[in-house]
Amino acid sequence: MIRILYFSTARANLTRADVDAIASHASEANLKRGITGSLAYNGRNFCQCLEGEEGQIRALIETIRKDDRHSGFKVLDEKTVQSRYFKDWGLRLVDDLDFSYVINAMSADSRDREPVS
């Protein structure tokens, strides 16, 4: 299993309703694929951490990379993991100017617990 963290910049005319729709659709689709994660949005940028089986994650990352609702897509970190940090979340939208909540998942290990909602 792998965990990947990426950052991108939202299209200028992306609305909050658009972001909510992205998160809702992604949550359902991710759970069907066995993917979990969290998406942070600060009104301008996205920071997302995804985890799951490598083939599923890499395919999803390529789909996300090609999405025209954002630009400047950059994978910041990736690693092999033994357990999930976002255990039961297909995708959780986190509204915060500080992306540390999502970024901290990259340093989590099997002793860490799922974040508290």
pLDDT band at 97 (very low <50, low <70, confident <90, very high): low
Q: How confident is the model at residue 86 (pLDDT cuts 50, 70, 90)?
A: confident
* Alpha-carbon gap, residue 77 to 103, rounded angstroms: 9
- Which amino acid belongs to residue 68? D
Please give the average per-residue pLDDT across 41-60, as a whole number: 94
Note if the pTM is more than 0.85.
no
Residue 79 forms beta bridges with which residues? 3
pLDDT at residue number 63:
95
Please report the pLDDT score of residue 116 as a whole number.
Answer: 42
Q: What is the DSSP letter of 2?
A: E
**Domain range annotation of the chain:** 2-107
- Assign a CATH topology to domain 2-107: Alpha-Beta Plaits (3.30.70)
80-109 mean pLDDT: 77
pLDDT mean across residues, the chain? 86
Q: Cα dihedral angle (117, 57, 72, 48), rounded to 10 degrees? A: 10
Q: What angle do CA 23, 101, 34 make, to 5 degrees?
A: 45
- For residue 12, the SS3 value is coil
Tell whether the model's pLDDT for residue 54 goes beyond 50. yes
pLDDT for res 101? 65
Q: Is residue 24's pLDDT more than 60?
A: yes
Cβ atoms of residues 46 and 73 within 8 Å = no
Stretch 72-98: mean pLDDT:
84
